[in-house]
């Protein structure tokens, strides 16, 4: 079965530190890739998405992600985190022949210390 794996369950960083959250998926065909963020008490919001083209995707709030097809990975990065980035981050995959179904990773909780 297709799955999405996020390497870290909980990441703790100090402000201004760099962030990289890992995401790997298990499917060899065409996929769309997403990163969503869920701030405390808020709904899921789309950070960025990859459909095709340039594998380096830029999203909102200074986040970016790189799609490496050979590694089935879509890691999220931010050069300098802020306290306001404290949230849970979800990687998700949509598979070409499975309609609109999103397969989510288990999420990574990010805590940024001021």
Partner 1 sequence: KAGVTQTPRYLIKTRGQQVTLSCSPISGHRSVSWYQQTPGQGLQFLFEYFSETQRNKGNFPGRFSGRQFSNSRSEMNVSTLELGDSALYLCASSLAAPGHFPPLYGYTFGSGTRLTVV
> What is the binding site for partner 1 (CB under 8 A)?
32, 34, 36, 42-46, 49, 51, 90, 92, 94, 96, 98-107
Q: Which is nearer to partner 1, 80 or 106 (CB)?
A: 106
Q: Which is nearer to partner 1, 32 or 86 (CB)?
A: 32
In whole angstroms, the minimum distance from the beta carbon of 51 to partner 1 comes to: 5
The gap between the terminal CA atoms of the chain, to the nearest Å, is 41
Distance CA 32, CA 50 (A): 6
Q: Which is nearer to partner 1, 3 or 82 (CB)?
A: 3
In whole angstroms, the minimum distance from the beta carbon of 114 to partner 1 comes to: 26
Distance CA 100, CA 1 (A): 17
Provide the token pair at 37: 């963020």
Residues 6+ apart with CB under 8 A from 49: 32, 33, 34, 35, 57, 59
In whole angstroms, the minimum distance from the beta carbon of 83 to partner 1 comes to: 23
């Amino acid at each position: 079965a297709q799955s999405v794996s996020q390497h870290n369950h909980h990441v703790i960083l100090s402000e201004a530190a760099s962030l990289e959250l890992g995401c790997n998926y298990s499917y060899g065909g065409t996929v769309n890739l997403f990163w969503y963020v869920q701030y405390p008490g808020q709904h899921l919001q789309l950070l960025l998405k990859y459909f095709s083209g340039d594998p380096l995707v830029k999203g909102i709030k200074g986040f970016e992600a790189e799609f490496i097809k050979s590694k089935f990975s879509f890691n999220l990065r931010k050069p300098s985190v802020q306290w306001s980035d404290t949230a849970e981050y979800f990687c998700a995959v949509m598979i070409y022949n499975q309609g609109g179904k999103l397969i989510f990773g288990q999420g990574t909780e990010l805590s940024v210390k001021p």
